[in-house]
């Protein structure tokens, strides 16, 4: 049984259609990413899954229940954007307060340490930097030892090192069996962390696949191999391969453009003629390229 099931979700704010038609299912133990440009409807979607907003249409079940079922409060941890806490509570007080809400809370000291907040326990929330507030909000999403954690833009505002540390923490959380639903507009984050990704654009799912599957699904003839053959070769040797669409020569270097398992095809045929590809480079389509193909813009751009 899927852990989260969203079917034909729609939600508008007045005239603005935030979510037009979104469907996806999240299986137990996976990290499922929602990726899309600003304003695509990602936050609205996860807020509906978290029971914080009522959908206008469609159906959502979380662990077989309606998102607003009070029984879910102890099973689902939520980190949302711009979590606002009392300025005059210390980090320690916030963590103690939140652990008290749960029957089997996580070890909050360990969590604070893992998130680089171990030194900040006596600091007021109001005195934390943006990145520290962000990390505290992640701690609060995980403090109840939830079965599902919903994280929205979890590493926005963090420096590269803190971002990597957070990814490591999230992978560790998944390894303990927690299912994660995360919203991101960072391609690298989606690629590193997610088992599957739903790309949302203008309130609709435009693709749903593994990171590698998304790249494959949208990659056409855009793998390029460059090398210098150790001995002269005829064009025909390469152009006769079904994977090769064209070759270009630049002095003693050859550029081969093609699809499928291009690298294997090219290196095999060279090997069979006793030729070595020197200074071999492969350029492949990335998730960035896939995203641009699917949505017509980069994740940082706004659709409107
Ligand atoms: P994303 O998370 O992908 O950036 P959102 O779900 O936040 O997208 O927003 C989708 C659309 O709905 C945007 O056009 C946004 O301006 C609008 N929107 C979001 N929240 C509200 C709100 N509370 N009231 C009015 N419009 C909103």
Over the stretch 207-262, which tens digit does the pLDDT of each residue have? Answer: 999 998 988 877 665 688 999 999 999 999 999 999 999 999 999 999 999 888 88
pLDDT digits (tens, 9 = 90+) for 19-29: 999 999 999 99
Q: Say what the pLDDT of residue 205 is.
A: 96
Quick one: 46 and 150 in the same domain? yes
Domain harbouring 248, CATH code: 3.30.70.1560
Residue 156: CB within 6 Å of ligand 1?
no
Residue 184: CB within 6 Å of ligand 1?
no
Could you tell me the residue range of the domain that residue 207 belongs to?
Answer: 4-75+146-217
Quick one: 163 and 203 in the same domain? yes
Quick one: 150 and 204 in the same domain? yes
Q: Is residue 130 part of a domain?
A: no
User: Does residue 80 carry a pLDDT above 50?
Assistant: yes
- Give the residue whose CA is nearest to atom 21 of ligand 1: 13
Largest CA distance in the chain: 75
Cα(67) to centroid of ligand 1, in Å?
A: 20
Cα(18) to centroid of ligand 1, in Å?
A: 6
Q: Say what the pLDDT of residue 303 is.
A: 45
Q: What is the pTM of this model?
A: 0.81
C-alpha–C-alpha distance, residues 212 and 284, integer Å = 11
Quick one: 259 and 206 in the same domain? no
Give the β-pairing of 179-184 and 148-152: parallel
Q: In this structure, what DSSP letter does residue 179 have?
A: E
Residue 39: CB within 6 Å of ligand 1?
yes
Residue 101: CB within 6 Å of ligand 1?
no
C-alpha–C-alpha distance, residues 247 and 267, integer Å = 14
Of the candidate ranges 64-68, 75-79, 133-137, the one whose mean pLDDT is the lowest: 133-137
Query: Please, which pLDDT band fits residue 157 given cuts at 50, 70 and 90?
Result: confident
Q: How far is CA 262 from the centre of its chain?
A: 28
Q: Count the domains in the chain.
A: 2
Domain harbouring 165, CATH code: 3.40.50.300
Q: Which of 10, 14, 17, 18 to mutate to test the pocket of ligand 1 (most atoms within 8 A of CB)?
A: 18
Q: Say what the pLDDT of residue 265 is.
A: 94
Quick one: 246 and 270 in the same domain? yes
């Amino acid at each position: 049984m899927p852990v989260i099931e969203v079917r034909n979700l729609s939600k508008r704010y007045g005239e603005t259609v935030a979510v037009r038609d979104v469907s996806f299912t999240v299986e137990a133990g996976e990290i499922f990413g929602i990726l899309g440009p600003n304003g695509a409807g990602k936050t609205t979607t996860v807020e509906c899954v978290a029971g914080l907003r009522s959908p206008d249409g469609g159906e959502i079940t979380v662990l077989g229940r309606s998102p607003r079922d009070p029984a879910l409060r102890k099973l689902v941890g939520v980190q949302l954007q711009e979590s606002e806490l009392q300025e005059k509570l210390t980090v320690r007080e916030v963590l103690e307060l939140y652990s008290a809400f749960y029957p089997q809370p996580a070890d909050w000291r360990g969590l604070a340490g893992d998130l680089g907040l171990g030194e900040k326990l006596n600091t007021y929330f109001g005195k934390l930097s943006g990145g520290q507030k962000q990390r505290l909000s992640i701690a609060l999403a995980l403090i109840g030892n939830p079965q599902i954690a919903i994280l929205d833009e979890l590493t926005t505002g963090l420096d590269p090192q803190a971002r990597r540390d957070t990814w490591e923490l999230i992978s560790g959380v998944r390894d303990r069996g927690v299912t994660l639903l995360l919203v991101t507009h960072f391609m690298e984050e989606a690629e590193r962390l997610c088992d599957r990704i739903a790309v949302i654009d203008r309130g609709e799912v435009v693709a749903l696949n593994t990171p590698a599957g998304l790249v494959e699904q949208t990659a056409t003839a855009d793998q390029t191999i460059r090398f210098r053959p150790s001995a002269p070769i005829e064009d025909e040797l390469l152009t006769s391969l079904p994977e090769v669409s064209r070759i270009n020569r630049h002095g003693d270097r050859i550029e081969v453009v093609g699809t499928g398992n291009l690298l294997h095809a090219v290196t095999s045929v060279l090997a069979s003629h006793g030729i070595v590809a020197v200074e071999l480079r492969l350029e492949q389509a990335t998730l960035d390229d896939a995203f641009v193909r699917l949505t017509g813009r980069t994740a940082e751009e706004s659709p409107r």
